[in-house]
Amino acid sequence: MTSGDEGRFILVPDMAELLSMTDSTQDPGPEARITPRLIDALYTEAMILADEARAYFDEAGRDDRQSLEPYARVGFACESLKVTTRIMHIVAWLLTQRAVESGELRAIEGRRPERRLGHANESDPLVVAQLPEAAQRLIRASADLYSRIQRLDEGQLAGEPAPSPARALMGRLERDLIWNRGA
């Protein structure tokens, strides 16, 4: 991210414009459907943010990091990992939504616990306040995007019965068995 690019983050079109109501033939009852256009816009935003974060934390932010006190330097490293984790979870969730839209996954499969948005730790405001402004902007942008995706993820579950812990365990076991077959 160059100095002229600071503070430049892509804006997502109005959510109301991109969401539609539909009756799914695979799942009973009406559900809020996330449109392909919304998925694409959010995916583009996430990838741009990932590139900006990589460029800053791996390259341009090195000088900023070296100028910090030791405690703040550790906070800088932790926050860069939190930004990366948020973006990783966002991209994984969006790819699941693409798979649902393309028919690779049924909508109900896309809402299984292991396919939902992963947990990302929140940033400590006291630590963030000690960091350079460019780092703070990236942290805020990743937290904002994560929050928007989290609302969409939670909105998909509105009106559904509470997930069964036993089913979640079975899903994880099935996934582990599949991944460990070749080992």
The rounded mean pLDDT for the chain is 82
Measured in whole angstroms, the distance separating CA 7 from the mean position of its chain's CA atoms is: 20
Q: What value, to the nearest 5°, has the Cα angle with vertex 16 and ends 105 and 46?
A: 60
Pairing of strands 30-34, 19-23: antiparallel
User: What is the torsional sign of CA 157, 144, 56, 122?
Assistant: negative
What is the per-residue pLDDT for 12?
45
Q: How confident is the model at residue 182 (pLDDT cuts 50, 70, 90)?
A: low
Q: Is the pTM of this model over 0.75?
A: no
